Structure 1
Amino acid sequence: MPDAPTCLSERVAAAADALVAARRSRRPIPTLTTHWPDLNESDAYAIARATEALLAEPRVGYKLGYTSAAMRAQMGVDQPNYGVLTAPTRVVHGGVLPMAELIHPLVEPEIAFVMAADVPDPEQTGAAVASVHAALEIVDTRYEAYRFKAPDNIADNSSAARFVIGPAMALPQGTDLAALPVRLWADGDLLGESGADALGHPLAALTWLAERLLQDGAMLRTGDVVLTGGLTRAYAAQPGMRFSARVSDSAQGGGEVALRFL
Protein backbone atom coordinates (compact mmCIF):
# COMPACT_ATOMS: atom_id res chain seq x y z
CA MET A 1 0.00 0.00 0.00
CA PRO A 2 1.45 3.43 -0.93
CA ASP A 3 1.78 6.28 1.55
CA ALA A 4 -1.72 6.90 2.89
CA PRO A 5 -3.58 9.99 1.60
CA THR A 6 -4.75 12.42 4.25
CA CYS A 7 -8.49 12.29 3.40
CA LEU A 8 -10.27 9.34 5.05
CA SER A 9 -12.22 8.41 1.92
CA GLU A 10 -8.99 8.44 -0.09
CA ARG A 11 -7.29 6.23 2.50
CA VAL A 12 -10.18 3.76 2.37
CA ALA A 13 -10.08 3.69 -1.44
CA ALA A 14 -6.29 3.24 -1.52
CA ALA A 15 -6.47 0.37 0.97
CA ALA A 16 -9.21 -1.34 -1.04
CA ASP A 17 -7.19 -0.94 -4.25
CA ALA A 18 -4.16 -2.51 -2.56
CA LEU A 19 -6.13 -5.49 -1.24
CA VAL A 20 -7.78 -6.14 -4.60
CA ALA A 21 -4.40 -5.95 -6.37
CA ALA A 22 -2.92 -8.42 -3.86
CA ARG A 23 -5.82 -10.82 -4.38
CA ARG A 24 -5.64 -10.67 -8.17
CA SER A 25 -1.85 -10.82 -8.46
CA ARG A 26 -1.43 -13.24 -5.52
CA ARG A 27 1.33 -10.95 -4.28
CA PRO A 28 0.74 -10.19 -0.59
CA ILE A 29 1.16 -6.75 0.95
CA PRO A 30 2.21 -5.44 4.38
CA THR A 31 -0.62 -5.08 6.86
CA LEU A 32 -2.63 -1.88 6.52
CA THR A 33 -1.81 -0.92 10.10
CA THR A 34 1.85 -0.75 9.10
CA HIS A 35 0.95 2.48 7.29
CA TRP A 36 -2.26 3.27 9.15
CA PRO A 37 -1.57 2.47 12.81
CA ASP A 38 -4.80 4.03 14.09
CA LEU A 39 -7.04 2.11 11.66
CA ASN A 40 -10.24 1.35 13.57
CA GLU A 41 -13.00 -1.22 13.20
CA SER A 42 -15.44 1.14 11.48
CA ASP A 43 -12.95 2.20 8.83
CA ALA A 44 -11.83 -1.41 8.40
CA TYR A 45 -15.38 -2.48 7.53
CA ALA A 46 -15.57 0.49 5.13
CA ILE A 47 -12.45 -0.85 3.40
CA ALA A 48 -14.00 -4.31 3.19
CA ARG A 49 -17.15 -2.91 1.57
CA ALA A 50 -15.06 -0.82 -0.85
CA THR A 51 -13.09 -3.95 -1.76
CA GLU A 52 -16.34 -5.86 -2.31
CA ALA A 53 -17.57 -3.12 -4.63
CA LEU A 54 -14.37 -3.23 -6.68
CA LEU A 55 -14.56 -7.02 -7.07
CA ALA A 56 -18.26 -6.82 -8.03
CA GLU A 57 -18.92 -10.50 -7.26
CA PRO A 58 -22.48 -11.58 -6.34
CA ARG A 59 -22.85 -11.94 -2.58
CA VAL A 60 -24.18 -15.34 -1.44
CA GLY A 61 -23.77 -15.07 2.31
CA TYR A 62 -21.44 -14.33 5.18
CA LYS A 63 -18.60 -15.83 7.16
CA LEU A 64 -17.85 -15.33 10.81
CA GLY A 65 -14.28 -15.12 12.03
CA TYR A 66 -12.77 -15.81 15.43
CA THR A 67 -15.87 -17.23 17.06
CA SER A 68 -13.90 -20.09 18.63
CA ALA A 69 -11.22 -20.00 21.29
CA ALA A 70 -8.96 -22.15 19.09
CA MET A 71 -8.88 -19.61 16.28
CA ARG A 72 -8.58 -16.59 18.57
CA ALA A 73 -5.59 -18.22 20.28
CA GLN A 74 -3.93 -19.20 16.99
CA MET A 75 -4.25 -15.80 15.35
CA GLY A 76 -4.14 -13.44 18.33
CA VAL A 77 -7.48 -11.81 17.49
CA ASP A 78 -9.66 -11.34 20.56
CA GLN A 79 -13.17 -10.72 19.16
CA PRO A 80 -15.45 -12.02 16.41
CA ASN A 81 -15.83 -10.31 13.05
CA TYR A 82 -17.52 -11.06 9.76
CA GLY A 83 -16.89 -11.03 6.03
CA VAL A 84 -18.94 -11.73 2.94
CA LEU A 85 -19.11 -14.85 0.78
CA THR A 86 -19.39 -14.45 -2.98
CA ALA A 87 -20.49 -16.82 -5.74
CA PRO A 88 -17.04 -17.33 -7.36
CA THR A 89 -15.53 -18.39 -4.02
CA ARG A 90 -17.79 -21.41 -3.58
CA VAL A 91 -16.26 -24.82 -4.38
CA VAL A 92 -18.49 -27.87 -4.82
CA HIS A 93 -18.42 -30.61 -2.19
CA GLY A 94 -15.74 -33.10 -3.23
CA GLY A 95 -14.33 -30.63 -5.73
CA VAL A 96 -10.83 -29.52 -6.63
CA LEU A 97 -9.21 -26.17 -5.86
CA PRO A 98 -6.00 -25.12 -7.67
CA MET A 99 -3.39 -23.85 -5.22
CA ALA A 100 -2.28 -21.34 -7.87
CA GLU A 101 -5.47 -19.34 -7.26
CA LEU A 102 -4.44 -18.49 -3.69
CA ILE A 103 -1.48 -17.11 -1.74
CA HIS A 104 -1.07 -19.15 1.46
CA PRO A 105 -4.35 -20.98 2.16
CA LEU A 106 -5.35 -22.50 5.48
CA VAL A 107 -8.30 -24.85 6.04
CA GLU A 108 -10.82 -24.81 8.89
CA PRO A 109 -13.82 -27.09 9.67
CA GLU A 110 -17.08 -25.30 10.39
CA ILE A 111 -20.83 -25.61 10.76
CA ALA A 112 -22.80 -23.69 8.13
CA PHE A 113 -26.42 -22.60 7.90
CA VAL A 114 -28.56 -21.80 4.89
CA MET A 115 -31.31 -19.31 5.62
CA ALA A 116 -34.97 -19.98 4.81
CA ALA A 117 -36.14 -16.42 5.44
CA ASP A 118 -35.01 -12.85 5.93
CA VAL A 119 -34.02 -11.99 9.52
CA PRO A 120 -35.23 -8.49 10.47
CA ASP A 121 -35.42 -9.59 14.14
CA PRO A 122 -32.37 -11.37 15.62
CA GLU A 123 -34.62 -13.11 18.16
CA GLN A 124 -36.11 -15.06 15.24
CA THR A 125 -32.76 -16.17 13.82
CA GLY A 126 -33.05 -19.85 14.73
CA ALA A 127 -36.51 -20.14 13.21
CA ALA A 128 -35.19 -18.72 9.92
CA VAL A 129 -32.70 -21.57 9.33
CA ALA A 130 -33.48 -23.83 6.38
CA SER A 131 -30.64 -26.36 6.76
CA VAL A 132 -27.41 -27.16 8.59
CA HIS A 133 -24.23 -28.32 6.86
CA ALA A 134 -20.69 -29.47 7.54
CA ALA A 135 -18.37 -26.96 5.90
CA LEU A 136 -14.75 -26.20 5.10
CA GLU A 137 -13.53 -22.65 4.88
CA ILE A 138 -10.30 -21.87 3.06
CA VAL A 139 -8.90 -18.65 4.46
CA ASP A 140 -6.11 -16.79 2.69
CA THR A 141 -4.87 -13.51 4.07
CA ARG A 142 -3.74 -10.99 1.47
CA TYR A 143 -1.01 -9.88 3.88
CA GLU A 144 2.55 -11.14 3.90
CA ALA A 145 2.03 -13.38 6.93
CA TYR A 146 -0.73 -14.60 9.20
CA ARG A 147 0.16 -11.93 11.73
CA PHE A 148 -2.11 -8.94 11.78
CA LYS A 149 -4.24 -6.76 14.00
CA ALA A 150 -8.01 -7.15 14.13
CA PRO A 151 -8.71 -4.13 11.85
CA ASP A 152 -6.32 -5.56 9.23
CA ASN A 153 -8.29 -8.80 9.21
CA ILE A 154 -11.67 -7.05 9.01
CA ALA A 155 -10.50 -4.89 6.09
CA ASP A 156 -9.32 -8.06 4.32
CA ASN A 157 -12.85 -9.52 4.48
CA SER A 158 -11.87 -11.67 7.47
CA SER A 159 -9.41 -13.56 5.20
CA ALA A 160 -12.29 -15.09 3.20
CA ALA A 161 -11.07 -16.95 0.11
CA ARG A 162 -13.05 -20.13 -0.69
CA PHE A 163 -15.68 -22.29 1.01
CA VAL A 164 -17.32 -25.68 0.62
CA ILE A 165 -20.53 -26.92 2.22
CA GLY A 166 -21.59 -30.54 2.32
CA PRO A 167 -25.12 -31.92 1.91
CA ALA A 168 -27.75 -30.79 4.38
CA MET A 169 -27.43 -32.76 7.60
CA ALA A 170 -30.25 -35.06 8.64
CA LEU A 171 -30.42 -34.41 12.37
CA PRO A 172 -32.98 -35.75 14.84
CA GLN A 173 -35.36 -33.14 16.20
CA GLY A 174 -33.90 -31.43 19.23
CA THR A 175 -30.27 -32.13 18.30
CA ASP A 176 -27.89 -29.86 20.23
CA LEU A 177 -25.46 -28.58 17.60
CA ALA A 178 -23.06 -27.45 20.31
CA ALA A 179 -22.72 -31.05 21.46
CA LEU A 180 -21.72 -32.47 18.07
CA PRO A 181 -18.00 -33.30 17.69
CA VAL A 182 -16.28 -31.68 14.70
CA ARG A 183 -13.28 -33.46 13.18
CA LEU A 184 -10.87 -32.40 10.41
CA TRP A 185 -8.72 -34.79 8.36
CA ALA A 186 -6.03 -34.35 5.72
CA ASP A 187 -5.31 -37.38 3.55
CA GLY A 188 -6.96 -39.58 6.16
CA ASP A 189 -4.93 -38.26 9.11
CA LEU A 190 -6.90 -36.64 11.92
CA LEU A 191 -5.65 -33.07 12.34
CA GLY A 192 -8.05 -31.63 14.88
CA GLU A 193 -11.20 -32.21 16.84
CA SER A 194 -13.48 -29.82 18.66
CA GLY A 195 -16.97 -29.32 19.91
CA ALA A 196 -19.06 -26.79 18.05
CA ASP A 197 -17.95 -23.92 20.27
CA ALA A 198 -18.60 -20.97 17.95
CA LEU A 199 -19.47 -18.36 20.60
CA GLY A 200 -20.63 -21.29 22.72
CA HIS A 201 -23.16 -22.47 20.11
CA PRO A 202 -23.44 -22.11 16.30
CA LEU A 203 -26.84 -20.47 16.68
CA ALA A 204 -25.32 -17.92 19.06
CA ALA A 205 -22.81 -17.07 16.33
CA LEU A 206 -25.64 -16.75 13.81
CA THR A 207 -27.55 -14.43 16.14
CA TRP A 208 -24.42 -12.32 16.68
CA LEU A 209 -24.16 -11.90 12.92
CA ALA A 210 -27.84 -11.01 12.53
CA GLU A 211 -27.52 -8.31 15.19
CA ARG A 212 -24.29 -6.93 13.74
CA LEU A 213 -25.64 -6.77 10.21
CA LEU A 214 -28.65 -4.78 11.38
CA GLN A 215 -26.27 -2.33 13.08
CA ASP A 216 -24.50 -1.97 9.74
CA GLY A 217 -27.70 -1.39 7.77
CA ALA A 218 -27.84 -4.90 6.29
CA MET A 219 -29.76 -8.09 7.01
CA LEU A 220 -29.54 -11.84 6.66
CA ARG A 221 -31.57 -12.77 3.58
CA THR A 222 -33.35 -15.85 2.30
CA GLY A 223 -30.84 -18.25 0.75
CA ASP A 224 -27.79 -16.76 2.47
CA VAL A 225 -25.06 -19.22 3.42
CA VAL A 226 -23.49 -18.49 6.80
CA LEU A 227 -20.22 -20.03 7.98
CA THR A 228 -20.23 -19.80 11.76
CA GLY A 229 -16.47 -19.87 12.34
CA GLY A 230 -13.52 -22.27 12.44
CA LEU A 231 -13.84 -24.91 15.16
CA THR A 232 -10.25 -26.15 15.27
CA ARG A 233 -7.09 -24.28 14.50
CA ALA A 234 -6.49 -23.66 10.78
CA TYR A 235 -4.13 -25.98 8.86
CA ALA A 236 -1.93 -25.17 5.88
CA ALA A 237 -2.83 -26.69 2.53
CA GLN A 238 -0.37 -28.16 0.02
CA PRO A 239 -0.91 -29.35 -3.57
CA GLY A 240 -2.48 -32.79 -3.69
CA MET A 241 -3.88 -32.72 -0.16
CA ARG A 242 -7.45 -33.84 0.42
CA PHE A 243 -9.22 -32.29 3.39
CA SER A 244 -12.43 -33.62 4.86
CA ALA A 245 -14.51 -32.79 7.89
CA ARG A 246 -17.29 -34.54 9.71
CA VAL A 247 -19.80 -33.08 12.13
CA SER A 248 -21.45 -35.94 14.00
CA ASP A 249 -21.63 -38.42 16.78
CA SER A 250 -22.86 -42.00 16.71
CA ALA A 251 -26.27 -41.16 18.15
CA GLN A 252 -27.27 -37.94 16.42
CA GLY A 253 -26.16 -38.32 12.80
CA GLY A 254 -24.42 -35.47 11.06
CA GLY A 255 -22.70 -34.58 7.83
CA GLU A 256 -19.46 -34.57 5.86
CA VAL A 257 -17.66 -32.29 3.46
CA ALA A 258 -14.48 -32.68 1.38
CA LEU A 259 -12.11 -30.77 -0.90
CA ARG A 260 -8.88 -31.59 -2.71
CA PHE A 261 -6.12 -29.12 -3.60
CA LEU A 262 -4.52 -29.35 -7.03
Structure 2
Amino acid sequence: MTDVQELAATLDDAERSVRAIAPLTDGGPLGVADAYRVQRAVLARRTARGERLIGVKMGFTSRAKMVQMGVDDVIWGLLTDSMLVESTLDLSGLIQPRIEPEIAFLIGRRVRSAVEVDAAVAGVAVGYEVLDSRYRDFAFTLPDVIADNASAAAFGVGAWHDPRELGGIDNIGLVLEIEGRLTRTGSSAAILGDPMRSLRAAARLAERAGIPLEPGWVVLAGAATAAVPLPRDAHVRVSGAGLGSVAVTTV
Protein backbone atom coordinates (compact mmCIF):
# COMPACT_ATOMS: atom_id res chain seq x y z
CA MET A 1 0.00 0.00 0.00
CA THR A 2 1.33 3.45 -0.99
CA ASP A 3 2.09 5.77 1.89
CA VAL A 4 1.17 9.03 0.15
CA GLN A 5 2.18 11.28 3.04
CA GLU A 6 5.58 9.62 3.45
CA LEU A 7 6.37 10.00 -0.26
CA ALA A 8 5.18 13.61 -0.21
CA ALA A 9 7.47 14.33 2.72
CA THR A 10 10.39 12.76 0.84
CA LEU A 11 9.86 15.03 -2.18
CA ASP A 12 9.15 18.12 -0.12
CA ASP A 13 12.27 17.59 1.98
CA ALA A 14 14.38 17.08 -1.16
CA GLU A 15 13.19 20.37 -2.60
CA ARG A 16 13.65 22.34 0.62
CA SER A 17 17.14 20.94 1.21
CA VAL A 18 18.11 21.35 -2.48
CA ARG A 19 19.10 17.70 -2.66
CA ALA A 20 18.52 15.28 -5.53
CA ILE A 21 17.08 11.90 -4.63
CA ALA A 22 16.44 8.56 -6.28
CA PRO A 23 13.09 8.16 -8.04
CA LEU A 24 10.26 7.16 -5.73
CA THR A 25 9.62 4.09 -7.87
CA ASP A 26 13.03 2.73 -6.91
CA GLY A 27 11.44 2.00 -3.55
CA GLY A 28 8.41 0.20 -4.93
CA PRO A 29 5.54 0.47 -7.43
CA LEU A 30 3.65 3.72 -7.73
CA GLY A 31 0.55 4.08 -9.88
CA VAL A 32 -0.50 7.24 -11.69
CA ALA A 33 -3.52 7.85 -9.46
CA ASP A 34 -1.39 7.56 -6.33
CA ALA A 35 1.26 9.77 -7.94
CA TYR A 36 -1.28 12.56 -8.30
CA ARG A 37 -2.26 12.05 -4.66
CA VAL A 38 1.40 12.49 -3.71
CA GLN A 39 1.54 15.66 -5.84
CA ARG A 40 -1.49 17.09 -4.03
CA ALA A 41 0.00 16.15 -0.66
CA VAL A 42 3.22 17.98 -1.49
CA LEU A 43 1.25 21.07 -2.52
CA ALA A 44 -0.82 20.81 0.65
CA ARG A 45 2.39 21.00 2.68
CA ARG A 46 3.44 24.09 0.75
CA THR A 47 0.10 25.87 1.06
CA ALA A 48 0.13 25.09 4.77
CA ARG A 49 3.37 27.08 4.92
CA GLY A 50 1.66 30.06 3.29
CA GLU A 51 1.94 29.53 -0.45
CA ARG A 52 -1.15 30.16 -2.59
CA LEU A 53 -2.27 28.31 -5.71
CA ILE A 54 -2.28 30.56 -8.77
CA GLY A 55 -2.38 28.24 -11.74
CA VAL A 56 -1.66 25.08 -13.66
CA LYS A 57 1.24 23.86 -15.79
CA MET A 58 0.99 21.26 -18.50
CA GLY A 59 3.56 18.63 -19.36
CA PHE A 60 4.19 16.13 -22.16
CA THR A 61 2.45 18.43 -24.63
CA SER A 62 4.65 17.35 -27.55
CA ARG A 63 3.91 14.13 -29.40
CA ALA A 64 7.61 13.22 -29.30
CA LYS A 65 7.66 13.44 -25.50
CA MET A 66 4.50 11.36 -25.23
CA VAL A 67 6.09 8.65 -27.37
CA GLN A 68 9.32 8.83 -25.33
CA MET A 69 7.43 8.38 -22.06
CA GLY A 70 5.01 5.81 -23.47
CA VAL A 71 1.88 7.83 -22.69
CA ASP A 72 -1.11 9.01 -24.72
CA ASP A 73 -2.18 11.98 -22.60
CA VAL A 74 -0.67 15.08 -21.06
CA ILE A 75 0.22 15.46 -17.40
CA TRP A 76 -0.22 18.50 -15.20
CA GLY A 77 1.03 20.17 -12.07
CA LEU A 78 0.10 23.18 -9.96
CA LEU A 79 1.66 26.64 -9.71
CA THR A 80 1.96 28.71 -6.55
CA ASP A 81 2.66 32.39 -5.97
CA SER A 82 6.17 31.61 -4.73
CA MET A 83 7.01 30.23 -8.18
CA LEU A 84 6.13 33.42 -10.06
CA VAL A 85 9.28 35.36 -11.04
CA GLU A 86 9.17 39.11 -11.62
CA SER A 87 12.65 39.79 -12.99
CA THR A 88 15.35 37.99 -11.00
CA LEU A 89 15.62 34.30 -10.10
CA ASP A 90 17.95 33.03 -7.37
CA LEU A 91 19.17 29.61 -8.49
CA SER A 92 20.64 28.69 -5.11
CA GLY A 93 17.37 27.02 -4.16
CA LEU A 94 17.25 24.85 -7.27
CA ILE A 95 18.97 21.54 -7.91
CA GLN A 96 19.37 21.26 -11.70
CA PRO A 97 17.33 24.03 -13.35
CA ARG A 98 16.33 24.07 -16.99
CA ILE A 99 14.27 26.64 -18.90
CA GLU A 100 11.86 26.43 -21.82
CA PRO A 101 9.70 28.94 -23.76
CA GLU A 102 5.94 28.71 -23.26
CA ILE A 103 2.57 30.11 -24.20
CA ALA A 104 0.59 31.24 -21.13
CA PHE A 105 -3.12 31.86 -20.63
CA LEU A 106 -4.80 34.13 -18.09
CA ILE A 107 -8.12 32.85 -16.75
CA GLY A 108 -10.74 35.58 -16.48
CA ARG A 109 -13.54 33.75 -14.73
CA ARG A 110 -14.07 30.54 -12.81
CA VAL A 111 -13.89 27.43 -15.00
CA ARG A 112 -15.52 24.24 -13.78
CA SER A 113 -15.44 22.24 -17.03
CA ALA A 114 -13.51 22.07 -20.28
CA VAL A 115 -16.44 23.39 -22.31
CA GLU A 116 -16.22 26.70 -20.44
CA VAL A 117 -12.53 27.39 -20.80
CA ASP A 118 -12.28 28.95 -24.27
CA ALA A 119 -14.65 31.76 -23.31
CA ALA A 120 -12.87 32.25 -19.98
CA VAL A 121 -9.51 33.26 -21.47
CA ALA A 122 -8.77 36.86 -20.54
CA GLY A 123 -5.26 37.05 -21.96
CA VAL A 124 -2.47 35.26 -23.82
CA ALA A 125 1.23 35.90 -23.24
CA VAL A 126 4.66 34.62 -24.02
CA GLY A 127 6.25 33.01 -20.99
CA TYR A 128 8.87 30.64 -19.69
CA GLU A 129 8.96 27.78 -17.25
CA VAL A 130 11.92 26.77 -15.12
CA LEU A 131 11.99 23.03 -14.54
CA ASP A 132 13.85 21.40 -11.68
CA SER A 133 13.50 17.68 -11.15
CA ARG A 134 14.06 16.51 -7.61
CA TYR A 135 15.41 13.24 -9.05
CA ARG A 136 19.06 12.69 -9.84
CA ASP A 137 20.04 13.42 -13.45
CA PHE A 138 16.45 14.28 -14.42
CA ALA A 139 15.79 10.52 -14.61
CA PHE A 140 12.29 9.35 -13.73
CA THR A 141 9.25 7.30 -14.71
CA LEU A 142 5.82 8.72 -15.45
CA PRO A 143 4.49 8.32 -11.87
CA ASP A 144 7.71 9.83 -10.49
CA VAL A 145 7.41 13.05 -12.49
CA ILE A 146 3.70 13.39 -11.74
CA ALA A 147 4.38 13.08 -8.01
CA ASP A 148 7.13 15.69 -8.39
CA ASN A 149 4.57 18.26 -9.62
CA ALA A 150 5.63 17.70 -13.23
CA SER A 151 9.10 19.13 -12.44
CA ALA A 152 7.67 22.62 -11.83
CA ALA A 153 9.99 25.14 -10.18
CA ALA A 154 9.37 28.70 -11.40
CA PHE A 155 7.80 30.66 -14.22
CA GLY A 156 7.41 34.11 -15.70
CA VAL A 157 5.04 35.72 -18.18
CA GLY A 158 5.15 38.77 -20.40
CA ALA A 159 2.42 41.32 -21.05
CA TRP A 160 -1.06 39.92 -21.56
CA HIS A 161 -2.71 40.29 -24.97
CA ASP A 162 -6.38 40.11 -25.91
CA PRO A 163 -6.81 36.70 -27.60
CA ARG A 164 -9.46 38.15 -29.92
CA GLU A 165 -6.83 40.42 -31.46
CA LEU A 166 -4.24 37.74 -32.16
CA GLY A 167 -5.91 35.93 -35.04
CA GLY A 168 -4.99 32.50 -33.73
CA ILE A 169 -2.10 31.20 -31.64
CA ASP A 170 -1.51 27.86 -33.35
CA ASN A 171 1.74 28.88 -35.09
CA ILE A 172 3.46 31.62 -33.12
CA GLY A 173 7.23 31.68 -33.49
CA LEU A 174 9.08 31.59 -30.16
CA VAL A 175 12.73 32.41 -29.49
CA LEU A 176 14.84 31.70 -26.40
CA GLU A 177 18.02 33.74 -25.94
CA ILE A 178 20.62 33.40 -23.19
CA GLU A 179 23.14 36.23 -22.82
CA GLY A 180 22.01 37.57 -26.19
CA ARG A 181 22.77 34.31 -27.97
CA LEU A 182 20.06 32.46 -29.86
CA THR A 183 19.56 29.23 -27.91
CA ARG A 184 16.28 27.72 -29.10
CA THR A 185 13.64 28.53 -31.70
CA GLY A 186 10.27 26.87 -32.05
CA SER A 187 6.60 27.29 -32.74
CA SER A 188 3.50 27.16 -30.59
CA ALA A 189 2.38 24.43 -33.00
CA ALA A 190 4.67 22.10 -31.02
CA ILE A 191 2.16 22.39 -28.15
CA LEU A 192 -0.36 19.72 -29.20
CA GLY A 193 -0.63 21.40 -32.60
CA ASP A 194 -2.35 24.39 -30.95
CA PRO A 195 -1.94 25.64 -27.35
CA MET A 196 -5.72 25.89 -27.08
CA ARG A 197 -5.83 22.09 -27.02
CA SER A 198 -3.51 22.12 -24.04
CA LEU A 199 -5.69 24.70 -22.29
CA ARG A 200 -8.76 22.50 -22.78
CA ALA A 201 -6.82 19.52 -21.46
CA ALA A 202 -5.90 21.56 -18.37
CA ALA A 203 -9.57 22.33 -17.76
CA ARG A 204 -10.47 18.66 -18.29
CA LEU A 205 -7.88 17.40 -15.82
CA ALA A 206 -8.75 20.10 -13.31
CA GLU A 207 -12.43 19.16 -13.57
CA ARG A 208 -11.56 15.51 -12.99
CA ALA A 209 -9.54 16.48 -9.91
CA GLY A 210 -12.29 18.73 -8.57
CA ILE A 211 -10.10 21.82 -8.78
CA PRO A 212 -11.76 24.71 -10.66
CA LEU A 213 -9.56 27.12 -12.57
CA GLU A 214 -9.98 30.40 -10.73
CA PRO A 215 -10.05 34.01 -12.03
CA GLY A 216 -6.49 35.34 -12.20
CA TRP A 217 -4.95 31.88 -12.54
CA VAL A 218 -2.27 31.23 -15.14
CA VAL A 219 -2.17 28.14 -17.34
CA LEU A 220 1.23 27.32 -18.84
CA ALA A 221 0.28 25.43 -21.99
CA GLY A 222 3.57 23.61 -22.50
CA ALA A 223 6.98 24.00 -24.10
CA ALA A 224 7.56 25.10 -27.67
CA THR A 225 11.12 23.71 -27.61
CA ALA A 226 13.21 21.31 -25.57
CA ALA A 227 14.35 22.69 -22.21
CA VAL A 228 17.95 23.85 -21.84
CA PRO A 229 20.15 24.13 -18.72
CA LEU A 230 19.71 27.47 -16.97
CA PRO A 231 23.06 29.01 -15.95
CA ARG A 232 23.74 31.34 -13.05
CA ASP A 233 24.47 35.04 -13.65
CA ALA A 234 22.72 35.07 -17.02
CA HIS A 235 20.15 37.24 -18.77
CA VAL A 236 17.48 35.16 -20.48
CA ARG A 237 14.82 36.43 -22.86
CA VAL A 238 11.89 34.67 -24.47
CA SER A 239 10.06 36.41 -27.30
CA GLY A 240 7.04 35.47 -29.35
CA ALA A 241 5.85 36.88 -32.66
CA GLY A 242 3.08 39.35 -31.88
CA LEU A 243 3.37 38.74 -28.13
CA GLY A 244 6.45 40.74 -27.19
CA SER A 245 8.93 39.26 -24.75
CA VAL A 246 9.67 38.36 -21.14
CA ALA A 247 13.10 38.34 -19.49
CA VAL A 248 14.72 36.99 -16.36
CA THR A 249 18.16 37.45 -14.81
CA THR A 250 19.60 34.59 -12.78
CA VAL A 251 21.85 34.96 -9.76
TM-score range normalised by the length of the shorter chain: over 0.9
Provide the TM-score with structure 1 as the length reference. 0.89
Q: Which residue is 1:247 aligned to?
A: 240
SS at match of 1:111: strand
Rounded to whole Å, the distance in 2 between the matches of 1:233 and 1:121 is 30
Question: Per-residue CA shift, 1:218-259, capped at 9, x if unaligned?
Answer: 2211111110011100000111122111111xxxx2221111
What is the Cα deviation at residue 66 of structure 1?
1.3
Q: Show the 5 A alignment for 1:85-234.
A: 85-92=79-86, 95-169=87-161, 173=165, 175-196=167-188, 197-234=190-227
SS at match of 1:210: helix
What is the Cα deviation at residue 71 of structure 1?
5.0
Rounded to whole Å, the distance in 2 between the matches of 1:118 and 1:71 is 30
Deviation larger for 64-73 or 206-215: 64-73
Q: Within the alignment, does 1:238 sit opposite 2:231 as a pair?
A: yes
Alignment equivalent of 2:46, drawn from 55, 63, 76: 55
Provide the TM-score with structure 2 as the length reference. 0.93
Rounded to whole Å, the distance in 2 between the matches of 1:60 and 1:258 is 20
What code does the residue aligned with 2:32 have? E
Relative to structure 1, the CA distance from residue 72 to residue 191 in structure 2 (aligned partners, 3 Å threshold; closer, same or farther) is farther
What is the Cα deviation at residue 170 of structure 1?
5.8
What is the Cα deviation at residue 148 of structure 1?
0.8
Aligned residues: 246
Q: Which residue is 1:4 aligned to?
A: none
Question: Per-residue CA shift, 1:27-50, capped at 9, x if unaligned?
Answer: 1110011112x2111000000001
Rounded to whole Å, the distance in 1 between the matches of 2:64 and 2:128 is 16
SS at match of 1:118: coil
Rounded to whole Å, the distance in 2 between the matches of 1:50 and 1:143 is 18
What is the Cα deviation at residue 127 of structure 1?
0.9
Rounded to whole Å, the distance in 1 between the matches of 2:212 and 2:163 is 27
What is the Cα deviation at residue 141 of structure 1?
0.5
What is the Cα deviation at residue 174 of structure 1?
5.3
Q: Is the 8 A contact 1:181 1:195 kept in 2?
A: yes
Question: Per-residue CA shift, 1:81-114, capped at 9, x if unaligned?
Answer: 100000111101xx11111111100001000011
What is the Cα deviation at residue 177 of structure 1?
0.3
Question: Per-residue CA shift, 1:4-61, capped at 9, x if unaligned?
Answer: xxx43xx21111000010000001110011112x211100000000101111221011
Relative to structure 1, the CA distance from residue 77 to residue 227 in structure 2 (aligned partners, 3 Å threshold; closer, same or farther) is farther
What code does the residue aligned with 2:198 have? A
Q: Is the 8 A contact 1:122 1:211 kept in 2?
A: yes
Relative to structure 1, the CA distance from residue 243 to residue 182 in structure 2 (aligned partners, 3 Å threshold; closer, same or farther) is same
What is the Cα deviation at residue 169 of structure 1?
3.0
What is the Cα deviation at residue 172 of structure 1?
6.6
Rounded to whole Å, the distance in 2 between the matches of 1:132 and 1:15 is 36
Q: Within the alignment, does 1:261 sit opposite 2:250 as a pair?
A: yes
Q: Is the 8 A contact 2:36 2:146 kept in 1?
A: yes
Q: Which residue is 2:9 aligned to?
A: 17
Give runs of ≥4 in structure 1 deviating > 6 Å: none
Q: Is the 8 A contact 1:164 1:257 kept in 2?
A: yes
Relative to structure 1, the CA distance from residue 139 to residue 194 in structure 2 (aligned partners, 3 Å threshold; closer, same or farther) is same
SS at match of 1:63: strand
What is the Cα deviation at residue 182 of structure 1?
1.1
What code does the residue aligned with 2:34 have? D
Relative to structure 1, the CA distance from residue 24 to residue 159 in structure 2 (aligned partners, 3 Å threshold; closer, same or farther) is same
Q: Which residue is 2:23 aligned to?
A: 31
Q: Is the 8 A contact 1:171 1:254 kept in 2?
A: no
Q: Is the 8 A contact 2:159 2:243 kept in 1?
A: no
Rounded to whole Å, the distance in 2 between the matches of 1:174 and 1:96 is 29
Rounded to whole Å, the distance in 2 between the matches of 1:124 and 1:43 is 28
What code does the residue aligned with 1:64 have? M
